[in-house]
């Protein structure tokens, strides 16, 4: 019998039962909830007259809808405030831990989980949010769910789920200077397309992946969903264990050692088989940027937007629509395009490592006058660290302001909307039409590239702007 | 709590012939502030349907009165992006019972099935045939037969089979709800919990 993949090991150990010809009943260890996709689920419980089965397995935090300025004041937008209050009400009623607004642990749910040690190897983790895939960086099976499924988990701690197919993406070799984890994942999606992962759960492997920090791994797993994949995961190793140690909700002492012994078994067996396997070379990747309206429409920053004759005929209609929306022409050179906004933040790149990197490069320089920049920490914890490490001052001297934590312009549910027709370089994960505000035009890139754009006011190759050969990790 | 039972539908269809329609287009984030499931149909495809002064955009298919019916036909890779179930609610609330495409995003598919909205995944060739049938005659009829897992173009008699998980099919035909099923398994779930000991429970 062939061996098991990491995904199989975690999934199979959580199957309560299987329905013939149907989905598995999968037990969920950790359920994260936020204000936007949970109210209807709680209302459903009320309607059925039932309670949350295991309130201790669920953690809540408001993030999507919160302002990023003046968080100490009541939320002005009535509907946002209603939704955030509803979360407080529902969690109080059902005895669920809430990291509320203005408390030290609040933040974007996918930033909070790992930094609090709630995310651990071998767990099943779900959240009513597609970027739950982020938590796979720890070797957990983590995926986004809809609100009916949130209700399922609240009611029964289980979910009905068909087992996805398995894919392994190997990135071998050494990254070139100036190439970051965000570039790896944008590159992968540009190669396999925005639907290439649909139906699969991806394991990322290879020396280039193993060399990444936990933050870097989270950025990769975070964007798995942008290839359509159900989720992505990476086998836990010493980097993971080191990160886990001492976190608030992580096991301690002898329990930690026991846990590590178990976590070490969480790896794909040598003879395991995947439904699909893809290989990339780290050397082929350069700093990436997107030019279109789905995350698969990306290319190396020194490259050109494809010409129409390079587009598949069936895709031409969508491609033209996309170019029209972006105000770009097929065949355009990317470098030198003028940019209006820079957004650094989100569950993809709003962690402390991202802010450190951005600050490291803008230090002693000045923000370009034509650029409005929003730098938004992923959590209260990140904000605190940024203050303690002097990142805030570096940013201020360079003409930037650190806002308060939340999803912010990643999905523009609050006031942080990129105005119609304006072009933003964003470290978030989606460049869909209107994602960052009605009519907003989004180009996705790494914090390193965002720094170059913020300083020059146009699309620029960060390696040139900062004259680096070896990007010093700003640790 | 039951969902609507699904039977056979024979009806006209509305085309949205674009690839990669993501859930941000289906229902933009700024309309996700509601705390109930109702009323999302009003903002279905909001930014494609209306300009910034709230005037209907003439060139968008949903605003074209020649198209109508409970079947929505989308281009390849429908429902990608955000997991928001509000997208399925919006489509259902607008009056659609079926969404046809050559490829669906996984979460969207689950969300639809959980709300009595049937995702019908067919080959790209058959999708093209459906688009061209609507092109030729906006009143062209299509039959979606869940029992036999078949979609037909009435004018030409062409048919194609589609896949659906047998369990989900049962649920849709009978109007069953997953949560009721899971609640009925409570003893089994509790027994499973007892088998889980440290360190697996971390
Ligand atoms: S930061 Fe963006 S992608 Fe991440 S959870 Fe918030 S809205 Fe979703």
Consecutive H or E run containing A208: helix A207-210
The confidence band for A468, taking pLDDT boundaries of 50, 70 and 90, is: confident
Distance CA A262, CA A135 (A): 18
pLDDT at A21 over 80: no
Average pLDDT (B187-194) is 95
Per the structure, the complete domain to which residue A392 belongs is given by 334-473
Residues A209 and A343 both lie in one domain? no
Residue A390 lies in a domain: yes
Residue A44 lies in a domain: yes
Residue A327 lies in a domain: no
In percent, the amount of chain B with pLDDT more than 90 equals 88
Residue B199: the pLDDT is: 60
Residue B1: the pLDDT is: 59
Residues A361 and A227 both lie in one domain? no
Residues A342 and A235 both lie in one domain? no
The pairing of beta strand B118-121 with beta strand B98-101: parallel
**d(CA A362, nearest CA chain B) in Å:** 32
Residue B76 tokens, joined: 């390849």
Average pLDDT (A157-172) is 97
Residue A312 lies in a domain: no
Distance CA A68, CA A409 (A): 10
Q: What CATH number does residue A115 fall under?
A: 3.30.499.10
pLDDT at A471 over 50: no
Residues 6 or more apart in contact with residue A323 via CB below 8 angstroms: A292, A305, A329, A330
pLDDT at B11 over 90: yes
Atom of ligand 1 nearest to the CA of A410: 2
The confidence band for B80, taking pLDDT boundaries of 50, 70 and 90, is: very high
* Residue (of A95, A17, A97) closest to A59 by Cα position: A97
Residue A405: the pLDDT is: 97
b/e string for A278-296 if b means 16 or more Cβ within 10 A? Answer: eebebeebbbbbbbbbbbb
CB atoms within 10 A of CB A448: 27
Which residue has a Cα nearest atom 6 of ligand 1? A407
pLDDT at A2 over 90: no
CB contact under 8 A, B24 and A50: no
User: Which has more confidence, B176 or B143?
Assistant: B143
Residue A68 lies in a domain: yes
Ligand 1: distance of its center to the CA of A474 in Å? 25
Distance CA A127, CA A146 (A): 8
Select the residue of B20, B124, B178 nearest A194 (Cβ to Cβ): B20
Average pLDDT (A52-68) is 96
Residues A71 and A209 both lie in one domain? yes
Query: Which residues in chain B have their CB less than 8 angstroms from residue A162's CB?
Result: 165
Distance CA A258, CA A218 (A): 24
The three-state (H, E, C) secondary structure of A11-55, written as one string: HHCCEEEECCCCCEEEECCEEEECCCCCHHHHHHHHHHCCCCCCH
CB contact under 8 A, A195 and B52: no
Tell me the per-residue pLDDT of A250-287, one tens digit each, with 9 for 90 and over.
999 999 999 999 999 999 999 999 999 999 999 999 99
Residue A58 CB less than 6 A away from ligand 1: no
Residues A159 and A27 both lie in one domain? yes
Residue A14 lies in a domain: yes
Average pLDDT (A122-128) is 97
Residues A245 and A360 both lie in one domain? no
Select the residue of A29, A130, A315 nearest B107 (Cβ to Cβ): A130
DSSP code at position B18: -
Query: Which residues in chain A have their CB less than 8 angstroms from residue B88's CB?
Result: 146
Domain boundary (A233, A250, A276) is at A276
CB contact under 8 A, A259 and B202: yes
A157 neighbors B189 (Cβ within 8 angstroms): yes
Residues A126 and A271 both lie in one domain? yes
pLDDT at A358 over 90: yes
Query: Which residues in chain B have their CB less than 8 angstroms from residue A77's CB?
Result: 33
Tell me the per-residue pLDDT of B112-149, one tens digit each, with 9 for 90 and over.
999 999 999 999 999 999 999 999 999 999 999 999 99
Domain boundary (A276, A298, A320) is at A276
Residues A108 and A216 both lie in one domain? yes
Which residue is associated with the tokens 């939320």? A75
Tell me the per-residue pLDDT of A410-453, one tens digit each, with 9 for 90 and over.
999 999 999 999 999 999 999 999 999 999 999 999 999 999 99
Residue A324 lies in a domain: no
Which residue is associated with the tokens 């989720």? A231
**d(CA B120, nearest CA chain A) in Å:** 16
Residues A31 and A145 both lie in one domain? yes
Residues A249 and A353 both lie in one domain? no
Residues 6 or more apart in contact with residue B28 via CB below 8 angstroms: A434, A438, B43, B46, B47
Residues A26 and A116 both lie in one domain? yes
Task: Give the 3-state secondary structure of residue B145.
Answer: strand
CB contact under 8 A, B178 and A315: no
Ligand 1: distance of its center to the CA of A109 in Å? 8
In percent, the amount of chain A with pLDDT more than 90 equals 96
CB contact under 8 A, A194 and B35: no
pLDDT at B67 over 50: yes
Distance CA A61, CA B138 (A): 47
CB contact under 8 A, B178 and A198: no
Tell me the per-residue pLDDT of A279-308, one tens digit each, with 9 for 90 and over.
999 999 999 999 999 999 999 999 999 999
Query: Which residues in chain B have their CB less than 8 angstroms from residue A29's CB?
Result: 201
Complex ipTM: 0.91
Residues A29 and A175 both lie in one domain? yes
Residue A419 lies in a domain: yes
Distance CA A427, CA A185 (A): 12
pLDDT at A88 over 70: yes
How many domains is chain A partitioned into structurally?
2
Residue A412 CB less than 6 A away from ligand 1: no
Residue A472: the pLDDT is: 47
Domain boundary (A276, A300, A325) is at A276
Residue B62 tokens, joined: 């949903």
Arithmetic mean of pLDDT over chain A: 96
Distance CA A383, CA A156 (A): 36
């Amino acid at each position: 019998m062939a061996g098991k993949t990491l995904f199989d090991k975690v999934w199979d150990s959580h199957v309560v039962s299987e329905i013939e010809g149907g989905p598995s009943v999968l037990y969920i260890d950790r359920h994260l909830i936020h204000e936007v996709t949970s109210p209807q689920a709680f209302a459903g419980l009320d309607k059925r007259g039932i309670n949350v089965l295991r309130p201790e397995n669920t953690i809540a935090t408001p993030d999507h809808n919160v302002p990023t300025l003046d968080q100490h004041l009541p939320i002005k937008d009535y509907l946002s405030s209603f939704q955030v209050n509803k979360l407080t009400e529902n969690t109080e009623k059902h005895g669920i831990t809430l990291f509320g607004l203005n408390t030290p642990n609040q933040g974007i749910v996918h930033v909070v989980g790992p930094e609090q040690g709630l995310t651990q190897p071998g767990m099943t983790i779900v959240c009513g949010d597609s970027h739950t895939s982020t938590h796979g960086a720890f070797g957990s099976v983590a995926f986004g769910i809809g609100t009916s499924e949130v209700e399922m988990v609240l009611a029964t701690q289980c979910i009905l789920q068909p087992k996805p197919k398995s894919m392994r993406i190997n990135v071998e070799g050494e990254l070139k200077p100036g190439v970051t984890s965000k570039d790896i994942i944008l590159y992968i999606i540009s190669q396999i397309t925005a639907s290439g992962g649909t139906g699969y759960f991806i394991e990322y492997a290879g020396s280039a992946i193993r060399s990444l920090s936990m933050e870097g791994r989270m950025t990769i797993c975070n964007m798995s969903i942008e290839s359509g994949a159900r989720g992505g995961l990476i086998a836990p190793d010493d980097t993971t264990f080191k990160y886990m140690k001492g976190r608030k909700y992580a096991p301690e002492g002898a329990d930690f050692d026991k846990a590590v012994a178990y976590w070490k078994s969480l790896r794909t067996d040598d003879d395991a088989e995947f439904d699909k396997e893809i290989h990339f070379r780290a050397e082929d990747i350069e700093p990436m940027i997107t030019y279109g309206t789905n995350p698969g429409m990306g290319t190396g920053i020194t490259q050109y937007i494809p010409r129409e004759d390079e587009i598949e005929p069936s895709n031409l209609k969508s491609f033209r629509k996309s170019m029209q929306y972006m105000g770009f022409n097929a065949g355009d050179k990317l470098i030198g395009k003028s940019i209006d906004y820079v957004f650094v933040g989100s569950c993809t790149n709003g962690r402390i490592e991202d802010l450190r990197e951005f600050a490291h490069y803008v230090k002693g320089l000045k923000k370009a006058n034509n650029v409005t920049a929003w730098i938004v920490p992923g959590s209260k914890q990140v904000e605190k660290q940024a203050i303690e490490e002097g990142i805030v001052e570096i940013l201020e001297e360079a003409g930037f302001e650190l806002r308060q934590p939340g999803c912010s312009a990643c999905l523009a549910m609050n006031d942080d909307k990129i105005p119609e027709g304006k072009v933003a370089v964003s470290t978030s994960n989606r460049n869909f039409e209107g994602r960052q505000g009605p009519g907003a035009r989004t180009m996705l890139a790494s914090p390193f590239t965002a720094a170059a754009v913020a300083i020059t006011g146009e699309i620029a190759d960060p390696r040139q702007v900062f004259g680096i050969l070896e990007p010093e990790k700003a640790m | 709590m039951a969902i609507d039972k699904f039977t056979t539908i024979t009806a006209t269809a509305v085309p949205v012939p674009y690839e990669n329609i993501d859930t941000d287009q289906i229902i933009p984030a700024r309309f996700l502030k509601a705390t109930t499931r109702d009323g999302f149909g009003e903002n279905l495809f909001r930014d494609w349907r209306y300009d910034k002064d709230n005037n209907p955009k003439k060139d968008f298919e949903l605003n074209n009165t020649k198209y109508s019916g409970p079947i929505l036909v989308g281009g390849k890779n429908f429902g990608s992006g955000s997991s928001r179930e509000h997208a399925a609610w919006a489509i259902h609330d607008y009056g659609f019972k079926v969404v046809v495409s050559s490829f669906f995003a996984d979460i969207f598919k689950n969300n639809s099935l959980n709300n009595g909205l049937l995702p019908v995944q067919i080959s790209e060739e058959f999708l093209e045939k459906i688009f061209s049938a609507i092109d030729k005659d906006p009143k062209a009829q299509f039959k979606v037969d869940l029992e036999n897992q078949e979609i037909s173009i009435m004018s030409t008699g062409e048919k194609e089979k589609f896949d659906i998980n047998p369990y989900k099919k049962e649920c849709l035909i009978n109007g069953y709800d997953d949560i009721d099923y899971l609640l009925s398994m409570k003893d089994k779930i509790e027994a499973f919990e007892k088998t889980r000991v440290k360190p697996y429970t971390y």
